[in-house]
Chain A
Amino acid sequence: MSKIKQKDLILYSGLIILGLAAPYLFSAFKVQLTYLCVLIVLAMTWNLQGGEMGYNTFGNILFYGLGMYLTASVQVGMFFPLAEWTESGGEKTFVHTTAQYFQGIGVGLLVSAVIPAIVAGAIGYAILGLRGHYFAICTLGLGIAAGEIAGGIEIIGAGQGFTTPPFPAEIVDTEARGKFFYFLSFALLISTFVFVKYIYGSRFKLILNAIRDNEDKAEAMGIQTMKYKITGWMCSAFFCGLAGGIMGGLIGYIDSTDVAFDGREMGVFMVLMAILGGKGTLWGPVIGATLFHFFKEGLWTLILGWQYVALGVLIVVIVIYFPEGLMGWLREKYPERFGEVIDEKDRKAQVELK
């Protein structure tokens, strides 16, 4: 046991050092690296939901978009009137000082984590009573409805969008903005990973798995499934909201359907990344998101204009041919590495049966 732990320690410290050094090593790709961190967080939180609990959601985009709007609104609303800011280029009349900017984003991120979690808790009882594909379609509807409704609300910019506060001009270092958002997202990534890792070692994860495998039986065993389902969803919402808040600051501009409640891109990406890496594993979503991001960035510029066609084809291919993902495939191939003991006799007998 101690040997494995030592190996883990080396792995984790190596990854953290790599993560801390990355913005200096790949200085030109800071925005991409920030995206990567956010994508991994989204994939991991989706996995908590879809992979562990078996509730395949398209609706986590709701919390992501909510977090984005909340962070920006709080950041502006703390110091200036929100309505005037969004009305007509308010970002030119009102300027945040450095202190105001960081105070605003700090409080904003706090709000953007707590409110989505509360929302998830509030709607959880109603929505999580649905199962399987009804849950999937219902959450899809929620995500899109949120986008459509946000696009009609005047105070947050309605159809023409919401410009988030620009990074304070008093900081002369041109690299500062990129570094700030990178380290913010990296911190989010680490805290998400630690949290998910903690869950993986807990009874909570087993309960979620029980719900996934057979909810009726889990209930019959005396587990109050609804309580755990809502808790699970709230955990996802918490980190999704934070990820959204950071992304809003990074992109600098919030549009209701194209950036915030972007079910067509982010909403599908998080499902796809988790499935690509392998649902229901700790490392699957991390690997899936990394692969997906490299693939996307590599291909996006090459096949300009055709990226959505490629994305659609990719979804179909992954879903049909690799529903278990990379980790699932590895698990099939090398079960011993995953701590599964295979009876050789049994395996041979099965082969003969075929």
Chain B
Amino acid sequence: MLMVQASLDGILLGILFALIAYGMALQWGVMNIINIAQGDLVILGGYIAYTMYLAGIHPAWGVIVSPIIMYFIGVLLYKLVINKVVDRDLFISILATFGIAIVFQQLMNFIFGADVVVAQSEYGTTMLFDNSVTLPNSKIFSAFISVLYAVALVIYMKKSRLGRAIRATAQNARAAKILGVDTEKVYAATFGINAALCGIAGALISITLTLHPYVGLPYTVRSFMIVIVAGLGNLPAVALSGMGLGLFEEFADYILGTEFRIGAVFMLLVFILVYRRFKLSKKREYLK
């Protein structure tokens, strides 16, 4: 039964990771930046929901409020920093967002304190298979909301004017500019949407997992990993590899012990990169 428990936990968690990874793929594909602060945006979104919880509002409303606030934070961040790294070397964007991540961590530490917190959703738990598998309803809720938002976003990207502009810019920024797309606005909106996705994921994490100012980086690495496995702009693959990662983590947790969980995630990243490097080097190519 432990296997079933771990599998279900892993899949539900993986859907959440896939949502963050989708934001990562979006900004990477459109703006060609790697955002190390991704995980910290997630945690910030979580703290917004947690603040609502402290104020007496049910934290589940965070999945609506948090993305709205995070969108504006994302746009602000773009105007302040990100717009200066868009056309430059990827390493510059990595370092610059690393700096942003440190600032965010510390500010969250000041504002919300260094304690591990969780917002109680009081959704109860579902018992399966004669009570041998426990499944918190909040996890089911979070997976459901993630899927809902992901589908909504895909439709939005396909149908809306901004969505088309974003896709055009991703294909060829210069051509899009010539055809009258205001790429600067598109970039700002893309980063805002990414931050909003992080906000949703954060609000869901605040009710399903725990929040702490310094746990952002593992989320960044998870989303990075999902994107390099799935490729940019391949949503079903993102969802699948997200679930795969969730499964891996839950099983690593059971087999190796909780203290090695984060270490296992980071080692998996190294292994995936090295595996892909050896596979590509047979064709005398390398990861680009």
A interface, CB within 8 angstroms of B: 56, 126-127, 129-134, 136-138, 140-142, 144-145, 148-149, 151-152, 159, 264, 268, 271, 275, 305-306, 308-309, 311-316, 319-320, 323
Contacts and interface: CB of A to CB of B under 8 A. Distances in A.
Given A138-B270, A264-B102, A144 B217 contact: yes
B262 A309 contact: no
B61 interface: no
B266 interface: yes
B129 interface: no
Interface residues of B, number: 43
Contacts of A134: 228, 273, 277, 287
A129 B259 contact: no
Contacts of A130: 273-274, 277, 286-287
Contacts of B106: 306, 308-309, 312
B84 A320 contact: yes
9 contacts: A126-B274, A129-B281, A134-B287, A137-B94, A145-B269, A308-B102, A309-B107, A312-B101, A319-B96
A271 B101 CA distance: 16
B123 interface: no
B224 A127 contact: no
Given A311-B99, A320-B84, 19 more contacts: A129-B286, A130-B277, A133-B94, A134-B228, A136-B94, A137-B34, A137-B224, A138-B273, A141-B270, A144-B217, A145-B267, A151-B263, A152-B259, A309-B107, A312-B104, A312-B106, A314-B99, A315-B96, A319-B92
Contacts of B266: 141-142, 144-145, 148
B92 A313 contact: no
B105 interface: yes
Contacts of B95: 271, 275, 315, 319
Of B88, B91, B100, B267, chain A has the most CB atoms within 10 Å of the CB of B91
Nearest to B37: A312
A140 B259 CA distance: 19
Contacts of A140: 221
B52 interface: no
B287 A131 contact: yes
> Would you list the 5 A-B pairs with minimal beta carbon distance, nearest first?
A315-B99, A148-B263, A312-B103, A312-B102, A145-B266
